[in-house]
Chain A
């Protein structure tokens, strides 16, 4: 048998290796080094963290390949990078650079208002955001091997990540309790591919790895998401917009492992310095919400 590459099993497999871990946004090789030393399982290489994208406005695009390559050279852990929703050429470029995972991300300005990238056409795996089970399974249908909640990126407010995780996991619990004859109508209500709905019902979980993202800023936030039932967490602005990034990063890693141990959570939460200032999601005008991007 010849070696096979780019299979769904390998795409999913890398995400399985990231479980129980923290993936951190970094904008420089120095940040990447701090993240790796703090115990991050992967880094997301980007030019601006979501809090800055939010503050500065303008069109947010794929990062400069030069920056991504420098970060890839600096750390031994996997490096992820973001492409705009529907921008399959940015994804082709990221694949050519050799990044380990592509985040087709609502944090960047969407390039297509109807269609996401056909992720099956790539050898590199993709992670995508979702707010509910239907959105998650549409992305899996397009080939995503990993799903994350959207949350509300760049706010430091965990409320949306909680809402999205509860909705996905709640929809799964509901799906498992339906009689067989009601599954098709539920799939229709979710706008999700029927076969994937059936698979999710059988597994009692998403058929891919499921992380939390968007607004996680403290060890307690990370542990909250883990206790709600996600497989791991992304932390964006929460680390490098805080007073002591190295210390906070290490604390969030520890909290993600020991998410069920309040004594350890109390210990690691001590003296972390200033958290990111943050912005309450309910104060943000509807048109400025990032999570509504994606279809």
Chain B
């Protein structure tokens, strides 16, 4: 099992650390050839405008789209924006997931928050259904999802913060900033 972490900018070391703790081989992806032989890819948190621009500049845009048509990709925060097909703004989007996102949906940094989430799908990993601690930093919201997309988590207000379409995952929060590796383990199952 070899998982790539898109290392153009953002929290890629944090994702890599958790994967390595789980005994997974990881590769930092900055150029197209580094996608070869990977079983899956994580697009980390960061600034979606920066990540999108660098992906275009270094010829990664189409290779990432092709990769996502065959393999698992998980985007956290900025990564979920980059996976979406619509972010109400003119910036490069992979358009792999049939989701519409709103950037900075909760406001600026002073509005960033932590909250426990109920994520039923993580029950498949163990019998207990403990809450998952969600860290939302200038976070986007998944406003609407297409018919092939499953909603994995919502806030109490009903707003969508995690979704899955086949082997593609999007979370508007940051599991890589917690010590809880369940979401990473779930992604590894999806990628297998």
Contact = CB atoms under 8 A, between A and B. Distances in A.
Contacts of B104: 76
Interface string B27-58: 00010000000000000011101100110011
Nearest to B111: A5
B135 interface: yes
Interface of A: 1-7, 9-10, 13-14, 16-21, 36-42, 72, 76-78, 95, 98-101, 123-125, 250, 253-254, 256-258, 261
Nearest to A254: B57
Contacts of B109: 10, 14, 78, 99-101, 124-125
Nearest to A22: B50
A39 B114 contact: no
Contacts of A5: 110-114
A14 B50 contact: no
Contact of B54 (A3, A72, A124, A253): A253
Interface in B72-121: 77-78, 89, 103-104, 107-116
Contacts of A20: 7-10, 12, 46
Interface string B118-143: 00000000000001000101100000
A87 B162 CA distance: 41
Contacts of B16: none
B13 interface: yes
B110 A95 contact: yes
15 contacts: A1-B115, A1-B131, A13-B174, A14-B138, A16-B14, A17-B138, A19-B11, A21-B47, A36-B49, A38-B53, A76-B49, A77-B49, A100-B108, A100-B109, A253-B54
B49 A39 contact: yes
A253 B57 CA distance: 11
A179 to B, nearest CB: 28
A6 B108 CA distance: 12
B177 interface: yes
Nearest to A260: B30
Contacts of B77: 17
Contact of A3 (B11, B115, B138): B115
Q: Which of A4, A20, A40 has the most CB of B within 10 A?
A: A20
A13 B47 contact: no
A36 B45 CA distance: 17
Contacts of B174: 13
A102 B143 CA distance: 31
Nearest to B52: A39
B110 A21 contact: no
Nearest to A5: B113
Contacts of B112: 5, 10, 13-14
A58 B70 CA distance: 61
B11 A39 contact: no
A257 B10 CA distance: 10
Contact of B135 (A13, A40, A101, A123): A13
Given A4-B113, A5-B113, A19-B11, 19 more contacts: A5-B114, A6-B110, A9-B114, A10-B135, A13-B174, A14-B138, A16-B177, A18-B46, A19-B9, A20-B10, A21-B9, A37-B53, A41-B46, A41-B50, A100-B108, A100-B138, A250-B57, A257-B30, A257-B54
A19 B28 CA distance: 14
Given A9-B177, A76-B104, A39 B53 contact: yes
A76 B110 contact: no
Contacts of A9: 114, 135, 177
Contact of A16 (B11, B49, B58, B115): B11
Contacts of B177: 9, 13, 16
Given A1-B131, A13-B174, A76-B103, A257 B9 contact: yes
B48 to A, nearest CB: 9
A6 B136 CA distance: 11
Contacts of A37: 53
